[in-house]
Structure 1
Amino acid sequence: MSDEEREERELDLTSPEVVTKYKSAAEIVNKALQLVLSECKPKAKIVDICEKGDSFIREQAGNMYKNVKKKIERGVAFPTCISVNNTVCHFSPLTSDETVLEEGDVLKIDMGCHIDGFIAVVAHTHVLQQGLVTGRAADVIAAANTAAEVALRLVRPGKNNKDVTEAIQKVAAAYDCKIVEGVLSHQMKQFVIDGNKVVLSVSAPETRVDDAEFEENEVYAIDIVTSTGEGKPKLLDEKQTTIYKRAVDKNYHLKMKASRFIYSEINQKFPIMPFTARALEEKRTRLGLVECLNHDLLEPYPVLHEKPGDLVAHIKFTVLLMPNGSDRITSHYLQELQPAKTVDDPEIKAWLSLGTKTKKKGGGKKKKGKKQTR
């Protein structure tokens, strides 16, 4: 077998080195989330906290695999976002933005790290207050967390993506909340943050995805967003969008000098992973990005909003479908919640009682000691 063939075969979880890289990325992103949470205080500027999160990931990832012969790409896989209250996702403002956090805000923190293209992502919801979280904030977070726990147990070899879609909607309804439309849980592969196998958050006639069965040695980013509102978020201001990903299958000869400058910088620094406009040469950014977007060279991650007064919660985790069961490698403990609603549905209880590990047949493989990531 040639080196190329060997590399092609080993780039999934059958390779211990690949598993190690996923877990190393997860360890960094879990610590980055902890750092970002510690910086979330009333009157703190959101952009400053996002910067700290990204810098931590870049620094920690940069310290790994320094002495290997082959250059290994590593760093931010998804820029740090802090979306507040009725803002659903992707808020990672430019340096000039003055938005600050306030006491009582419901914060959604979303971020990702990769080592050699093996990606670990996480999202966590936190209410900026001391003590027990009650009322609708507790309901919406409990809905997202319970749906995530159910998804963890249903994203397993032999199960179907449709089973998960129906289950998470049922969980949200038990808390009198909605699963937010348009959110997809993606399979991830090396350098691919949004693979073709997906789990739809909400079944809708206008959004169709192919039926898919989960298989051993796959990796998924399970993405759950719940709302106390209708779950149909809107784009209110295009200028808030700052996160983009290069559309690798598109080509166009850009006319403007500023566009060519920015696109060249993107190709150099962020050829595959999503990035924030904050990381580009800011004076030319807005002007240069417009032409790139008009010709579909970039895919935007829009900042979406529910109605004012609605609350949104977001839980996202990375799971490895290992031969011995599901291994959730990114997470953070929730605050103490006291939701008004309780889950009495026997089907939901049955899902939650499922194990995440499979019993070994025969002798099985020798198990290596694994690092604690949560």
Structure 2
Amino acid sequence: MIPEEYYKAGNILAKTINKTRDLIKPGINILEICEFIEGEIEKLGAKPSFPANIDINEIGAHYTSPPNDKSKIPDNSVVKIDAGSHINGYINDMAITINFGEKKYDKYIEAAEAALATAINHIKPGVKVDLIGELVEKKIKSYDLKPISNLSGHQLKQYNLHAGQSIPSVKSNEEGYFKINEVYALEPFVTDKSAAGRVKSGNEAYIYQFIKRKKNLIKFLAQPADEIRRKFNRLPFCLRWLPEKYHTSDIIKRLTSIGILHAYPVLIEARKGVVAQAEKTIVVTSDGCEVLTGL
């Protein structure tokens, strides 16, 4: 058995994502969407396990609004909503894609969702991880599209968003087997067959994570490092979640430069191909797996 908090957090996240689907539209401020998602998760009794991601077109992952973000959802865009919730550190992760652009992108979403369903239908104890990647890749290619090879699903543990085992969306040499009561976020990413099929790091980072506390830090850096560790444990956070005094100072950059924090850069499809994503959190059961981010 897994802790009941997994089920509660998953239900809260699914409700929040479904409400967001009805809210989002071209012209709406991205900061407003991020704050709605994070606020709704808290209102329903959980906490965000990472800042809400609103990833548009060729952006594959890791865009969340910085403080005072004025950017809006563009017309004719493909928008990925990726959010997480937790209760006492038991994490769920879920994403959907919405198409406000050309009709051809509906196929990208269909392929991502079909690949996700394929993974869910084949996972059970003893199944090899690399088999799931092979099946996901085959399903995406059956739509004449291409998976993103360097974005993967991931195991979830208490207060650990990327815990151990990765689940690629392509055939790989990834070792390991699925075991009963393990929890995973499964997330195929899909792009055009003429795209690179991989993401690269952009120049900006808006999401951070506490990595380790170093000895003999000067007070100027020790105090914010300890504050961040107490508040977020090892879960990702963003500047919006910190006191305003950190928004304009270089403290976060300095903590990152000395390895106390890790910065997650915005990830962009290497040839700027439009990306779609589908994601759910599952627990491996005795004879298959169960979706936690369901209603």
Q: By the TM > 0.5 criterion, same fold?
A: yes
**Partners of 1:311 and 1:27 in 2: how far apart?**
29
The CA RMSD measured in Å over matched residues stands at: 2.1
Uncovered stretches (5+) of structure 1, i.e. residues with no partner: 1-13, 62-73, 331-372
Letter in structure 2 aligned against 1:89: A
**Partners of 1:179 and 1:108 in 2: how far apart?**
16
Work out which of the residue numbers 226, 237, 241 in structure 1 matches 2:203: 237
What's the TM-score once normalised by structure 1's chain length? 0.73
Letter in structure 2 aligned against 1:146: A
Letter in structure 1 aligned against 2:264: Y
**Partners of 2:190 and 2:219 in 1: how far apart?**
41
Runs of 4 or more consecutive aligned structure 1 residues displaced over 4 Å after TM superposition: none
**Paired residue total:** 292
Residues 171-320 of structure 1 aligned to structure 2 (within 5 Å):
171-202=139-170, 209=174, 211-228=175-192, 229-238=195-204, 241-248=205-212, 251-255=214-218, 257=220, 259-285=221-247, 287-306=250-269, 310-320=273-283
Mark the structure with the bigger radius of gyration.
1
Letter in structure 2 aligned against 1:216: I
Could you give the per-residue CA deviations for residues 143-173 of structure 1, whole angstroms, max 9, x where no partner exists?
2111111111222111101101111122222
Aligned to 1:103: 75
In terms of fraction of residues, the more strand-rich structure is 2
Aligned to 1:116: 88
Aligned to 1:338: none
Identical residues among aligned pairs (%):
27
**Partners of 2:219 and 2:6 in 1: how far apart?**
40
C-alpha contact (below 8 Å) 1:224/1:315 kept by paired residues: yes
What's the TM-score once normalised by structure 2's chain length? 0.91
The offset of 1:307, in angstroms, is 5.4
Could you give the per-residue CA deviations for residues 295-319 of structure 1, whole angstroms, max 9, x where no partner exists?
2222222211125762100111100
C-alpha contact (below 8 Å) 2:153/2:166 kept by paired residues: yes
The offset of 1:255, in angstroms, is 4.2
C-alpha contact (below 8 Å) 1:83/1:91 kept by paired residues: yes
C-alpha contact (below 8 Å) 1:256/1:288 kept by paired residues: no
**Partners of 1:168 and 1:60 in 2: how far apart?**
33
C-alpha contact (below 8 Å) 2:187/2:277 kept by paired residues: yes
SS at match of 2:44: helix
**Partners of 2:115 and 2:201 in 1: how far apart?**
25
C-alpha contact (below 8 Å) 2:125/2:287 kept by paired residues: no
Uncovered stretches (5+) of structure 2, i.e. residues with no partner: none
Residues 40-55 of structure 1 aligned to structure 2 (within 5 Å):
40-55=24-39
